[in-house]
Amino acid sequence: MVQDLMKKFHEAAVSPRAQMDKYMAEGKKIVLTAPVYTPEELIHSMGFVPMGAWGADMELNRSKEYFPAFLCSIVQSILELGIKGAYKGASAIVIPSLCDTLKTLGENWKYAVDDIKFIPMTYPQNRKPDYGIAFTKAGYERVIRDLEALGGKYDPAALAESIRVYNKHNAVMRRVDEVLAVHPEITAAERSDIFKSAYFMTKEEHTALVEEFLAELGEAGEEKIGIVVSGILTDAPQLNQIFDEFGMHIVADDVAAQSRQYRTDSPEMDDPLEALAVKFANMDNCSVLYNVKKPRVQWIVDTAKARGAKGVVVVMTKFCDPEEFDYVMIKKACEKADLPLALVEVDRQMVHFEQVRTNLETFRDMLTM
Ligand code: SF4
């Protein structure tokens, strides 16, 4: 039954600690993976369970001892959780260097959370040329050395197998995104659970659950107002509740914590570590990935048109400079394409969503006039 499966997605999405405890009770070691693109395949291949660490909706206290208030709340809440012991038992956290705020997270983590090892993953800005691919590969080699120090073993054959597991998961997530575009009865909150639960389950388990869900999905429900959602993170229950209350149906997302993760597969190559570096080089259409011509902007417009969306909602994580830089271009491109656009701001400390509600209510009225 679809509802039973939705319950499983929801339980995993809202209880990462329970998932962590379950894996640790099975004798598995956990490695936390911070946003935005951590080489999970590598961690998986070395015998660890990668577990997403994108922070949580909470009040920030201790993290303020390390960060100024104007850094994004995702990073601040990751550190807050670390200091408060929410990740206790994890072997390490891998933090990529893809934005300036993430760079400070790693350095602060070393002092604030001394029982969970910080492993940096330094990515190049110019990821596409050969020297960029070589740089990324060298970064992965450093991650291997750090994971070996924690008892992991690197084996190219195991990495090739993990890449197959992750490519299969990518494919099923792309499929669910396509299918949900024509199933308005699946709410924004449920859609969020499907994507969020992927961070707290092994990819093998999540792939099986999503495949089961796709097989069980029945007739499409009544049409709603199709929108494309763009941003870093859109998992706040209050935000999704507002989308649902106003009859908005997410027909596609350009969200870093959701579909952006699954657009690019690792290619088949003799050297799987090189393949992982090529995968990173081949990624595009994301605010934290350097692209001179910003194809992401046109991607949003084209996807909205292709999926029949009536408008685009940009969910801006407060103080996220990579997203703020892109917003002006997104706005101009949507205006040029006659695509209505709304901007709402969120952060992980937010408890009152009335401003978001008012913005989206006005937007709903505009789209249904
Ligand atoms: S990309 Fe934005 S939201 Fe993500 S860590 Fe950097 S500043 Fe925060």
Residue 318 has pLDDT above 90, yes or no: yes
Q: Which atom of ligand 1 is nearest to the CA of 105?
A: 5
The fraction of the chain above a pLDDT of 70, given in percent, is 100
Q: What are phi and psi of 353, to 5 degrees?
A: -110, 25
Q: Which atom of ligand 1 is nearest to the CA of 317?
A: 3
Is 140 a domain residue?
Answer: yes
Tens-digit pLDDT profile for residues 126-151: 999 999 999 999 999 999 999 999 99
Site to probe by mutation for ligand 1, drawn from 105, 123, 323 as the one with most ligand atoms within 8 Å of Cβ, is 323
Residues spanned by the domain of 134: 25-153
Residue 65 has pLDDT above 90, yes or no: yes
Is 135 a domain residue?
Answer: yes
236: pLDDT confidence band, cut at 50, 70 and 90?
Answer: very high
Å from CA of 27 to ligand 1 middle: 33
**How many domains does the structure of the chain reveal?**
1
- Pocket lining: 322 vs ligand 1, CB cutoff 6 Å: yes
- Pocket lining: 73 vs ligand 1, CB cutoff 6 Å: no
SS (H, E, C) the chain: CHHHHHHHHHHHHHCHHHHHHHHHHCCCEEEEECCCCCCHHHHHHCCEEEEECCCCCCCCCHHHHCCCCCCCHHHHHHHHHHHCCCCCCCCEEEEECCCHHHHHHHHHHHHHCCCCEEEEECCCCCCCCHHHHHHHHHHHHHHHHHHHHCCCCCCHHHHHHHHHHHHHHHHHHHHHHHHHCCCCCCCHHHHHHHHHHHHHCCHHHHHHHHHHHHHHCCCCCCCCEEEEEEECCCCCHHHHHHHHHCCEEEEEEEECCCHHHHCCCCCCCCCHHHHHHHHHHHCCCCCCCCCCCCHHHHHHHHHHHHCCCCEEEEEEECCCHHHHHHHHHHHHHHHHCCCCEEEEEECCCCCCCHHHHHHHHHHHHHHCC
Å from CA of 316 to ligand 1 middle: 10
- Pocket lining: 34 vs ligand 1, CB cutoff 6 Å: no
Q: Which atom of ligand 1 is nearest to the CA of 36?
A: 4
Å from CA of 179 to ligand 1 middle: 29
Q: Which atom of ligand 1 is nearest to the CA of 319?
A: 7
- What average pLDDT does this structure show over 37-54? 97
- What average pLDDT does this structure show over 333-356? 96
Is 324 a domain residue?
Answer: no
- Pocket lining: 35 vs ligand 1, CB cutoff 6 Å: yes
Site to probe by mutation for ligand 1, drawn from 38, 75, 80 as the one with most ligand atoms within 8 Å of Cβ, is 75
pLDDT at residue number 216: 96
Q: How far, in Å, CA of 15 to CA of 13, rounded?
A: 6
Å from CA of 262 to ligand 1 middle: 18
- What average pLDDT does this structure show over 54-80? 95
Q: What angle do CA 71, 239, 109 make, to 5 degrees?
A: 30
Is 118 a domain residue?
Answer: yes
- What average pLDDT does this structure show over 3-23? 97
| pTM over the 0.95 mark | yes
- What average pLDDT does this structure show over 326-330? 97
**Do the beta carbons of residue 334 and residue 343 sit within 8 Å?**
no
- Pocket lining: 258 vs ligand 1, CB cutoff 6 Å: no
Å from CA of 201 to ligand 1 middle: 23
Is 5 a domain residue?
Answer: no
The fraction of the chain above a pLDDT of 90, given in percent, is 99
Is 161 a domain residue?
Answer: no
Å from CA of 5 to ligand 1 middle: 31
369: pLDDT confidence band, cut at 50, 70 and 90?
Answer: confident
Tens-digit pLDDT profile for residues 270-316: 999 999 999 999 999 999 999 999 999 999 999 999 999 999 999 99
CATH number, domain of 128, equals 3.40.50.11890
Is 17 a domain residue?
Answer: no
**Overall residue count recorded for the chain in this entry:** 369
Tens-digit pLDDT profile for residues 172-187: 999 999 999 999 999 9
Is 64 a domain residue?
Answer: yes
Site to probe by mutation for ligand 1, drawn from 102, 234, 258, 326 as the one with most ligand atoms within 8 Å of Cβ, is 102
